[in-house]
Every structure is written in C-alpha cells, then in structure tokens.
Chain A
Amino acid sequence: MSAVTDKATSLPAGFEALEAFVPYWVHETNDKRREARSTAQMEDIQAFYDTVVPMAEQGIAYLEQYELGKMPADAERLFKLLLAMNHAAIAVEMHGAPRAFDSTWPSAVRITQGPWPHGGRI
C-alpha cells in the first residue's frame, strides 16, 4: 500500500472516503462506541452507515493481513471504524432510531468489559 498517509491521524490508502467519520466514530472501547451511536443524530448515523457498509468487505480483507491486536495505527483505526459500524447497524437495521424506543439516556447500563481486542474494561 502506498503513500503519504499520516499514520497518526489517517486511514490506510483506499479508505479515504471514511476519513470524515474518524473523529466521531473511532473509540477505544465497546461502551464508548455504543455511547457515540446512542447520542448521535439519526441522519449522522445513517450517513456513516451508508458510507462504511459498502466498504466493509474491502476493509475486512485489508485487516486480515495483520495479526489481531498487532496492527499499525492506521489499520487499527479502520478496524475501530468497522467495530463502530455494528453499533450504527443497531440504529439503522433494528430501531430506525439512535436507540431503543422509549429508552432513557444517560443510561445506567454499561458494557464494562467488551470482547478482545478494543473491547475495553471499565
């Protein structure tokens, strides 16, 4: 892969279309990704979903060259975006709303331990 990507901030080459979603959707833990989706506007969730889903297979294929838990920063960022995609899907594919009908937020519920890697522990 090429070229002049700034590893500290950017995604691997070929995934530039997702760059705009990095600041809001890239998080360290499962719970933070859930929080991002739960507090977002539906149109922003939809925009992320519509952009990331068509690139997901390509993203998975790219990430498969690395060992889990041992990726360069740009690949890891892409991985976290794909993890966040699952949360966007909860809103788009299940509720048609950022979170469950009639649910309260802020919520008492926390994912205090997520799957490894990038699931986090609280």
Chain B
Amino acid sequence: MSAVIDKVETGTSGTPRHQMAEECFTLDAGLPTGPVSVEPYRSPEFFERERERVFKRAWLFAGRIEQLPEHDSYFVKEILICKASVLITRSKEGKVQAFHNVCSHRGNLVVNKPCGRAERHVCRYHNWAYGGKDGALLGIPDQKHFFDVDKKSLGLTPIACDVWEGFIFVNFQKQPEVTLAEFLGPFGTTYAGIPYFNLDETIVIQADFKANWKLIADAFAEPYHVPSLHPATLAPGFAHPEDNRYARPLSARAHGIHRHFSAYGNPHYVPAPTSKVESLVYIQDTGGVLGGDASENAQGVMNHPAINPTKNPNWSADVTWIFPNFNIDYSTGGFWIHEFWPVAYNRTQWTLRIFIPKTASIRHRLQLEHYASRWAEVVLEDVTNCERIQLGLESGAKDHMVLQDAEMLIRHNLWVLDKWMKADKVADALK
C-alpha cells in the first residue's frame, strides 16, 4: 500500500484523537438485532411486489434543478422500474413539472433528446404538438378529420412532481397519498438549508451490472468493508490501523424512513512520499481524498447541524440514504449522489454523479483526473463484489445474513422495506 496516515496525535492528557463510539446505533434506532432474510435480494416475486408497493408509491429522485436552467428547459428521465419515460420541464412561471413522455394520439414517445430547451414538444409520428402550461395539446394536424376530439383533455399526462432543496422528485401514484414533505419527514427538515456548491460540473460514473439494487445500496451504507475491499483506494483515508481499524462510523441514525452514517476520516491524511503522482496533483485547497473544493465552501457544510452531528474532528463524509434508492453524500470537499435503479431482481443500473469545481488550472485538471480515476476504481471494486454476492445468495446456501452494529443502515432499510411491502396505506408505511 502506498499512502500513509500520519501518526495518531495525542493531546497533553494522552487521549487519542478518536474515541470509539460507545453507543449502539442499532438499538438507538429501535431496530431488532437478529439475522435478516436474504429473500429480498434474490426472489423474482419479491421484486415484482417491490415494483408495485415501493417504487410505484414512493417519491423517487429524478434530477436536480440545475438541469432546468431556464424556463422551457427540459430533460427526460427514464425510470425503468416504473416502465416510464418522464419529461421534466420548467414552465414560463418557473414551475417544475413532470409528464409521461407519451403522445395522446397513438402512444409514441414525444421527446427523444435527453435534454434541451423548447417551447413546444412535437411528436414526430404525426406532428401533434404539446407545450405551454401544463403540457397542453397545442395542435393536431388535419384536425377536421378526427371525430369529436377534445383537445383540452388530450394534454400530456402529468406525474406528481415536487422539489426539495433543489432535488426533483416524482411520484407515480395518480394522487400521491403523501406529499414529498410528508415522505421526507424528519429527514427533510433536519437536512434543509445545507449550502450546496459546485453543482454545475460533474463527473458521472455508471454501471449496469448483475446484482440486486439493494446490494450496491448496502455497499455504500456501511464502512465496515472499507479496510478489506478497498485496501488501497479508500482505506488509507477512511480507516486507521490503530485508531479505527474497522472504519467504525462516527454516528449512524434513522431519520424516519431515511437514514445516515458519518464516516471516519483522517483530516491530516497526506499522500505517502512514494506516491509521487498523488503528491504532485494533490493540493490541500482542492480537497481531500474524496474532495474537490476549497475549504471555505466546505466549512459552511460542516457547520450545518445535520452534518457530522457529533461534530467529530475526524470526520470525512456523511452518507445519507433517502428511501428507497437515492443517496446524497456530503464530504469535506464536496457532494456526490447515487441513484440505484432496479432493472430486474438481479440487475441494476447505478449512476454516481460527483459534483466538482470548474477546472481552474492544468494542475487542478490533473487532480480531477486522479479523483475520477480513484472513484472509478472504488466503484469497480464494489460492482465486482456485488455480482459475486448475488451469485452467493442465489445459490441458496444461506437464508439469512448477519449484520453488525456498523451495518445498521442496511438493517433499517430492510425494516422500512418490509413495512412498505405490508402496509396498504402509504401513511402506515411511514410510521
């Protein structure tokens, strides 16, 4: 291994900088502690019910408002699990709206570009045109040969859509049983007001692979595997041979149906002298191992009470998991988000979007390349591993998995998921 972690500093009293958390995250979250079933990861029947009970009833992340910079901006979001192509627009009045991207004439997909700006959206099959307010049908070529068409009722079919802190969510219930604010619950209030920055530039890493969507979500929900699965890419910055050998979280809590953990990190990490390239491109003011921006911006994030709630000085990042399939992660140097989209019980499409500052110099660009490369390598380690787990679970050798306290978020997700599968009313699934 190349990179080193500097020696544990001790205060005058001789106490180590990092004190292992004494509390039990699992019990504090009100969760049981027994083994959990692996059926949710390998059962095609469970997957079909998950589609109906979870994905067609929950509020789902669909994009960021920066994707709609002006009025008449639009983007299309394919949500395979709900078999939907979703057109998301910003109206003249500035309202963010979502529609099924499906023509009222004979069902063609209307918009076939991923994003852009347009006042009217024209279906290319017979040129029916939509736009204006609320996806109205504006025009039908050769209308006089249709029979009693009522243009007013033939607009694009709306999808419930709302925005929280710049994150756009959609809901596939015709009349959502709960609002986005109710769905986000205590998470939405606790994590409100975080000063996001650098949202216009991104590194995007994607993978389409053979494993259940929850396996990759689980991989980002616990740091226990960091020293073993990511020994060179992450362990030097996120674990410590003496101080925190198993990368135990600094905190891990449930927020209603959502959850977070705070990851340990060595704030004084520096590349090893033998890591010549990492040293060459590594500049403190562009962030740490997983950071990309100046500390001034990061300070505003770190000061927020939701972030690193115990205000532990050895903090590196907060992972927040918004049920069911979305993560917003906050680090000393910036943000990244994960979307874990189910395709089949054993297939997932994952998108990781890492927000970065605009390239400022040659050296900065080299640092960003190193940052992207390290991330891709971390992702490769996790994806390869998830495909192996899927094989292991499908073998039928094990019916249960055993979770430790640092894996609380996985247990909490399965517990919430079970409620959604059982509850006939969404309100009951939120309790």
Which residues of chain A have a CB within 8 Å of any CB of chain B?
A: 30, 33-34, 49, 53, 56-57, 60, 63-64, 68, 79, 82-83, 85-90, 92-95, 99-104, 107-119
Contact = CB atoms under 8 A, between A and B. Distances in A.
B66 interface: no
A11 B380 CA distance: 33
B370 A86 contact: yes
Interface string B171-210: 0000000000000000000000000000001111111111
Interface of B: 1-3, 201-210, 231-233, 272, 274-278, 280-281, 356, 358-359, 361-363, 365-366, 368-370, 372-374, 376-377, 379-381, 383-384, 387
A30 B358 CA distance: 16
Given A86-B369, A104-B387, 12 more contacts: A30-B369, A33-B369, A33-B373, A83-B366, A89-B373, A90-B377, A93-B2, A95-B377, A99-B380, A100-B384, A101-B231, A108-B208
B377 A114 contact: no
Given A108-B209, A113-B203, A113-B204, A83 B377 contact: no
B384 A89 contact: no
Given A94-B377, A109-B376, A114-B372, A64 B362 contact: yes
B205 A109 contact: yes
Contact of B362 (A63, A88, A113, A114): A63
Contacts of A99: 377, 380
A57 B387 CA distance: 41
Given A100-B384, A114-B369, A57 B209 contact: no
Contacts of B380: 99-100, 103, 107, 109
A60 B366 CA distance: 9
Contacts of B381: 100, 103
A94 B232 contact: yes
B275 to A, nearest CB: 4
A115 B207 contact: no
Given A100-B377, A108-B207, A110-B206, A82 B366 contact: yes
B377 A119 contact: no
Given A68-B365, A100-B381, A94 B2 contact: yes
A113 B232 CA distance: 24
B276 A93 contact: yes
A49 B278 CA distance: 12
Contacts of A110: 205-207
Contact of B359 (A49, A53, A107, A116): A116
B203 A119 contact: yes
B236 to A, nearest CB: 9
A112 to B, nearest CB: 5
A57 B202 contact: no
B365 A83 contact: yes
A115 B201 contact: yes
A56 B278 contact: no
A15 B374 CA distance: 27
Contacts of B231: 101
Nearest to A64: B362
Q: Which of B363, B369, B377, B383 has the most CB of A within 10 A?
A: B369
